[in-house]
Structure 1
């Protein structure tokens, strides 16, 4: 992000830092008009209406119907009703630090600053109180949506003369047209051109770049690797029929699109807790590099497409997909906040993919396979929670934001996680013991080599947790870890050797 001054006396390049040259700043701004600062998209990269709306819907989806009724009575009324029902932590909002630095210089020089926003006045006041440099606020109420010409009238009445205005969007053009100083912040190139046509801006603070890669990051395409579990029933049954593999591949794509949509939903519901997290605060939606409406658009495209593809594959598969979506949404809205329940749900969702693969490929799934997967994925889910708590403990925090755990739970969770991994290995041993002279594994004795490989990988995983070498996601660690790839290759070799002559 860069600042581009344009020849007027208050350009950012001529402004000293707040802690140096205050006397010079006073001379520069002695007769400067008051500055009116837009909030949504300008002072903060996010939008308070969307932020508070998500909090309301997270509390109860039934509020959607209430919002439609409130909107019929006007946007100002809608904003007022939502603001009255939610508590928004404004300290966690992604503020435009470059603009804030410039405003602090103006404030130190004695210039009057007013936060003028179309958001509800109560929320605007909370932001002003948090930032601590504004002399007054202007905001919407039940009767007035303070936007465009309505904002202009409120500013003119408050200023009583010339004024400067900092904004970022098309509704701000009406205000800039009457402003004596134009400050363009985080605006698209087309808006900057139109602002320049009205008046040469005092300064232009460029928007942050949003590379296409950021959208892929929001979709968490690397998480599609979890959906490889859909192919497990085919592999376990040694099925080589091409038609079954093709239909399972389509199911993989459907599950991937569905999972990406639910990850976006999860990120939108988790804005506050992600911003409080030392690493998750850089996620695309938490940092507001991708907007909440853009996230909504991704959901509206991916989720229907995935369900349509699932319906085309088979109605039972569609039912399993709908169940996955329902449980995932419940997890995002509430279950993830419940200790123990959250990891059990995650382990079940992993195993659900195997069930879906069996349904699509028309393969009967062994109860042994389901049991092994449930305990193995429970161990991995606990790895993720323990990694989060390890870093919380390192940062001196006692609890994880948006979770039901405390750092004092860490030793207990580690014990459960290691035990779950060992139970998975034990169940695998019992399964192998039943494979003597089986059709699937004619060389079943070779399968015993799987046990030391599994034990090595699980024990190494938990050792790395104790050394804080795994951050949050064990899946991402496994994908990028060379040793995990070697173990996976050896497991595949053992399975192939044991099944020699058993493929259909």
Structure 2
């Protein structure tokens, strides 16, 4: 609308990367990979028949909720203003017609839908020719985001450039008048740090637990192996986190906090995540071969288990928490393998109970968030929000089980052998009791982060408990004359 008069020319809007901050071909491929991965082997059969056939087959096999797609909200708000002013809106996309109609039906602002139909892939020059045939040369304005839209802008009256670099707006301006520019989301170091989840690397410090528990702090060879193992495990973990985020896009978008994650929000393209995930995994395995010992098999076990968690286990009630506890515990076992140390029964039992409690904390916190959002069932999980009290009970019981294992360990022969003043070690029991109780109290009050270990390293009470625990261990090790 210019000069307060109704603009009679239709406004044609692209879908992928424009109206939504993602590519629906990538999205449908991921959903097929997650739900029916065996169908991906049919792509080489479909591809000779044309890209439109591939899109149609993937669209018929992939279920998605258009409500949770990462829409470009400023653009969407402007389109609604245009619609309210009486302008004709057309959704024109290279995505399959089933996908386009689903999005158009949800938004309710489009008068027409043009899309790939299984025989013709409506992109680039084909899209431009179809629009010229329907509306005439310079008979429409076009909203696009990529170089594939240049043939369309060549025949448009005006261009609206979305989610694109400044150079593309300049190119579009050389073909037609640029009416508006809608910037994309930033992709700085902070965003990539969130993609890699660098803060989650703190969990991999668990690799050093066997070294500390065995009182082998002076073993320089073990330290070198563990540092290399830490980097390898961190790269592998980041690879898995990325892959998990890609498979869990819909659930993350339905979550009040997780919807801001880079892939869920559309800040980082899906294809970049896939490439980065493979590259990180390759680098991780390259480093793992230099660690030696049995580290590589345990790293492989972690990778297989976490993939199983991403695909299946996280949707199974209780099994998901057991799997999470195992993923924590495997880090401890892998650390012992990297350092060439035998794993203590006490350390293993303590780890299983403690990490099971933390896994239940994580799930309980998620259920509480969903409950307060008015949800009856946790999206993509096997729990109802009414299960929260029982999950809380199971988690507290597991946490106190870890305290019991610690108390029994303090009465064992190993403590007499490793600690100069074993009596002081009993001070670790009330410290751990406080911390487990404190974590669950914070979860009950709705203050828990999605990851309890991340919460703990930022929480003053948890840090104080950690210092007190370390001090007790140090005094018990060095000995203290009463």
TM interval, shorter chain, is over 0.9
SS of 1:498's partner is: helix
Q: CA deviation at 1:120?
A: 0.5
The partner residue of 2:342 within 345, 351, 364 is 364
Residue in 2 aligned with 1:144? Answer: 120
Q: Contact 2:409/2:415 (CA < 8 Å) preserved in 1?
A: no
The worse-fitting range, judged by mean Cα deviation, of 434-443 and 171-180 is: 434-443
Structure 1: stretches of 5+ with no match in the other structure: 1-8, 15-23
Rounded to whole Å, the distance in 1 between the matches of 2:168 and 2:377 is 44
The partner residue of 1:65 within 41, 57, 63 is 41
Residue in 2 aligned with 1:412? Answer: 390
Residue in 2 aligned with 1:163? Answer: 140
SS of 1:198's partner is: coil
Structure 2: stretches of 5+ with no match in the other structure: none
Q: Give the structure-2-normalised TM-score.
A: 0.96
List aligned pairs for 1:303-322, cutoff 5 A: 303-314=281-292, 316-322=294-300
The worse-fitting range, judged by mean Cα deviation, of 445-454 and 459-468 is: 459-468
SS of 1:471's partner is: coil
The partner residue of 2:157 within 180, 198, 213 is 180
The partner residue of 1:439 within 413, 417, 420 is 417
Q: 1:303 to 1:436 in 2, by over 3 A?
A: closer
Q: Contact 2:91/2:113 (CA < 8 Å) preserved in 1?
A: yes
List aligned pairs for 1:43-442, cutoff 5 A: 43-160=19-136, 162-239=139-216, 240-314=218-292, 316-435=294-413, 438-442=416-420
Q: Contact 2:317/2:381 (CA < 8 Å) preserved in 1?
A: yes
Rounded to whole Å, the distance in 1 between the matches of 2:66 and 2:158 is 28
Rounded to whole Å, the distance in 2 between the matches of 1:275 and 1:137 is 25
Paired residues, number: 478
SS of 2:143's partner is: strand
Residue in 2 aligned with 1:471? Answer: 449
Q: Contact 2:317/2:382 (CA < 8 Å) preserved in 1?
A: yes
Q: CA deviation at 1:257?
A: 0.4
Rounded to whole Å, the distance in 1 between the matches of 2:391 and 2:80 is 46
The worse-fitting range, judged by mean Cα deviation, of 338-347 and 52-61 is: 52-61
Q: What CA deviation, in whole Å up to 9, does each residue of 1:415-436 have, x standing for no partner? A: 1111001111101111110147
Q: What CA deviation, in whole Å up to 9, does each residue of 1:16-63 have, x standing for no partner? A: xxxxxxxx5xx332xx31111100011111111111110000013333
Structure 1 vs Structure 2 CA RMSD = 1.6
Rounded to whole Å, the distance in 2 between the matches of 1:102 and 1:467 is 40
Rounded to whole Å, the distance in 1 between the matches of 2:348 and 2:268 is 38
SS of 2:174's partner is: helix
Q: Give the structure-1-normalised TM-score.
A: 0.92
